[in-house]
Amino acid sequence: MELELGLALPGSDRTPELGVHGEKRASLCRKRGVDEMLAKATLPLFIQKDNDEDGDDDSRQSKHLQELNFSGSRVLVGWPPVKMWRRKSDDCGRRRANCVKVNMEGVAIGRKVDLCLHDSYQALFLTLGQMFPKKQHDGEESDAAYYKVTYEDEDGDWMLVGDVPWELSVLKHQHKKAK
């Protein structure tokens, strides 16, 4: 069975429940307080393996592309079955932001970026450029050329942002690092 450890603020509920087949299901974290900025994400320290090499059917877990949104709850792709289009137009503060945490090398505090507010890599780089301090250089404006942005994919590898088409990447990205 896979073990999952999490980092969370003291006091946030994290009671793992056992599913019918004995697999551990982490229950959804309860949001404390209205201010989303204060809620911390819990990050799995061990990424679940896709294939059980020993073919153990009992602990077989469905393979999901796993995202963590900023309130720490794990979200399955395509579940609940609510149409993408509905989600997009469902604003009024109830919209689920597709937030990603971005850390810059040498900067202590990470920032969060809502991928839903961006429709392309250019837009994302622009925002990142505004969020993080620039090094001293000749007032060059091309942020995309200046920063190297990488993300961690589901296999735990650090990939360069920009390979995958934007729409696909919005679903997959967990964690970004800017250098």
Partner 1 sequence: MVRGFGWAAAFPDEVWEHVFSFLAADADRNAVALVCRAWHRIERRSRRRVFVGNCYAVAPAAAVRRFPEVRAAAIKGKPHFADFNLVPTDWGGGAEAWVEAMAEGWPHLEELRLKRMVVSDDCLELIARSFKNFGVLSLVSCDGFSTAGLAAFAANCRNLRELDLHENEVEDNCLNWISHFPDSFTSLVSLNIACLEGDVNTSVLECLISRCPNLRTLRLNHAMPLEKLVSLLQRAPQLVDLGTSKFSADHHPELFFKLESTFAGFKHLKSLSGIWEAGPAYLPAIYSVCESLTSLNLCYATIQSPELLKLVSRCKNLQRLWVMDLIEDNGLIAVAASCKLLQELRVFPSDPYGVAPPISLTEHGLVAISAGCLMLHSVLYFCRQMTNAALLTIANNRPNLTCFRLCIIEPHTPDYISQEPLDAGFSAIVESCKDLRRLSLSGLLTDRVFKSIGASANRLEMLSVAFAGDSDAGLHYILSGCKNLRKLEIRDCPFGDKALLDNASKLETMRSLWMSSCSVTLGACRQLALKMPRLNVEVIDERRGRPLESWPDDFPVEKLYIYRTVAGPRSDTPPCVWTV
**Binding residues for partner 1 (CB under 8 A):** 19-20, 25, 28-31, 51, 57, 60, 62-64, 69, 71, 73, 75-87, 89-92, 94, 96, 165, 167-168, 171
Question: Whole-angstrom Cα distance, residue 23 to residue 168?
Answer: 29
Q: Is 161 exposed, middle or buried (0-12, 13-18, 19+ CB in 10 A)?
A: buried
Choice between 73 and 103, CB closer to partner 1: 73
Choice between 32 and 175, CB closer to partner 1: 32
CB of 14 vs partner 1, minimal distance in Å = 12
Strands 175-178 and 99-104: parallel
- Residue 68 pairs in a beta bridge with 74
CB of 60 vs partner 1, minimal distance in Å = 8
CB of 40 vs partner 1, minimal distance in Å = 14
Question: Whole-angstrom Cα distance, residue 14 to residue 6?
Answer: 9
Tokens of 9: 């603020």
CB of 67 vs partner 1, minimal distance in Å = 10
CB of 54 vs partner 1, minimal distance in Å = 13
Choice between 107 and 168, CB closer to partner 1: 168
Nearest partner of 171 among 107, 110, 104, 96, judged by Cα: 96
* Contact between residue 4 and residue 27 where contact means Cβ atoms under 8 Å apart: no
Q: Is 50 left (phi over 0), alpha (psi -120 to 50) or beta?
A: alpha
Helix or strand (DSSP H, E) at 171: helix 166-172
Choice between 54 and 57, CB closer to partner 1: 57
Choice between 35 and 79, CB closer to partner 1: 79
